[in-house]
C-alpha cells in the first residue's frame, strides 16, 4: 500500500509541475507578444509621421471585416425548364437545297434531323421544321 500512495503523490507533483510550467510559458509568451507589439506600434507611429496611415488588427478582426457577405437565404439551383421548340418562321425558312437526306431521300436537310425522329418526315413535319421545299404546297392543318 505504501508504494501506491507514493506513486499517486509523484503523479500529482508531476501534474502540478506541468501546470506551473504551462502558466510560466503562457506568461512568457504574453510578455514577448507585448514587447513585439510595442515595436510594431513604434514603427507604425513613425510611418504615420511620414504620411502613411496603417492600422494593426488581429487576424480574427480582419477576417470579420473582410468576410464575403452571404445572402440570408442562398438561392438554390433549380432544374432549367425544358426549352420549347421555337416554331420555324416559315415552311421553307430552314430549307437548304445543297443538303441531301439519306433517310428521306430528299433535299433540304441532312441526316442530323433524324437523330430524334426515325424514318422519313411527312410534308406536315417538314413544314413544322421549316424544311419544306419552296415549290411544294403548304399542307393544310386538319
Q: pLDDT tens-digit profile of 97-112?
A: 777 788 887 777 777 7
Tell me if 38 is assigned to some domain.
Answer: yes
Predicted local confidence at residue 7, as pLDDT: 58
| Pair (59, 106) in one structural domain | no
142 has pLDDT over 60: no
Alpha carbons 70 and 72: distance in angstroms, whole number: 6
Q: How far apart are the first and last CA of the chain?
A: 108
128 has pLDDT over 80: no
Computed over every residue of the chain, the mean pLDDT equals: 79
pTM of the model: 0.38
Domains of the chain: total: 2
Q: How many residues does the chain have?
A: 142
Give yes or no for a contact between 109 and 131, defined as CB atoms under 8 angstroms apart: yes
Backbone φ and ψ of 58, nearest 5°: -75, 160
| Pair (58, 102) in one structural domain | no
Query: What mean pLDDT comes out for the span 6-12?
Result: 61
Query: What percent of the residues of the chain are helix, what percent strand, and what percent coil, each to the nearest 5?
Result: 45, 5, 45
| Pair (57, 103) in one structural domain | no
Tell me if 110 is assigned to some domain.
Answer: yes
Tell me the residue range of the domain where 55 lies.
2-66
Tell me if 73 is assigned to some domain.
Answer: no
Looking at 13, 45, 66, which one is the last position of a domain?
66
Banded model confidence at residue 69, pLDDT cuts 50, 70, 90: confident
Amino acid at each position: 500500500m505504501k508504494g501506491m500512495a507514493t506513486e499517486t503523490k509523484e503523479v500529482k507533483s508531476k501534474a502540478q509541475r506541468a501546470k506551473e510550467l504551462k502558466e510560466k510559458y503562457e506568461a512568457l509568451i504574453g510578455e514577448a507578444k507585448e514587447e513585439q507589439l510595442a515595436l510594431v506600434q513604434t514603427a507604425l507611429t513613425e510611418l504615420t509621421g511620414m504620411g502613411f496611415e496603417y492600422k494593426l488588427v488581429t487576424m480574427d478582426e480582419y477576417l470579420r471585416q473582410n468576410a464575403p457577405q452571404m445572402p440570408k437565404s442562398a438561392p438554390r439551383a433549380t432544374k432549367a425548364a425544358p426549352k420549347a421548340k421555337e416554331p420555324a418562321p416559315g415552311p421553307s425558312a430552314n430549307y437548304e437545297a445543297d443538303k441531301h437526306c439519306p433517310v428521306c431521300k430528299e433535299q433540304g436537310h441532312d441526316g442530323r434531323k433524324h437523330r430524334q425522329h426515325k424514318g422519313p418526315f411527312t410534308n406536315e413535319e417538314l413544314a413544322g421544321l421549316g424544311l419544306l421545299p419552296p415549290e411544294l404546297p403548304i399542307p393544310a392543318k386538319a
